[in-house]
Amino acid sequence: MHELSMADGILKAVLENAQKNEATEVIEVTIEIGKMALINPEQVKFMLDVLSEDTIANKSKFIIEEIPIEIQCSNCGFEGKVDGDDLDHYTPIVECPKCENNRVSIINGKDCTVKSIVVEKDD
């Protein structure tokens, strides 16, 4: 379960950060997931809700932003975003929109990162 370990990692990072900031509650977490990260955002969101149940993030909102894929084509030199909307989450094949070559390097859209965390503190 790729999504489960991903959600687990995200939550640990969030709680660590909250602890460092002496937070009493996590309000909102924004997570960026690249379209090439082979992750189903809906599943990650669901698992975060479940995993956070017994933590200070149990009332937190988890917002997931999808990052578009950016490629560099070794054939024609095209560099830029590609439309990843039709991509299969499990077997994504990206090809160059200009020359349809699929031997491209992915320069963006593979990562999954915590973008921002909003916490509440005791005064």
Query: DSSP letters along 38-101, please?
Result: ---HHHHHHHHHHHGGGSTTTT-EEEEEEEPEEEEETTT--EEEE--TT--SSS-----TTT--
Stretch that binds Zn ion, among 23-31, 54-62, 75-83, 110-118 (CB under 5 A): 75-83
Site for Zn ion in 6-35 (CB under 5 A): none
Nearest distance in Å: CB 101, Zn ion: 5
Nearest distance in Å: CB 77, Zn ion: 7
Half-sphere exposure of 3 (CA within 13 A, CB side): 15
Nearest distance in Å: CB 104, Zn ion: 7
d(CA 36, CA 89): 8
Residue 24 vs 75, nearer CB to Zn ion: 75
Q: Count residues near Zn ion (CB under 5 A).
A: 8
Q: In which residue are the tokens 């995993």 written?
A: 51
Residue 45 vs 80, nearer CB to Zn ion: 80
> If binding is defined by CB under 5 A, does position 78 make contact with Zn ion?
yes
Binding Zn ion (rule: CB under 5 A), the pick from 58, 76, 83, 115 is 76
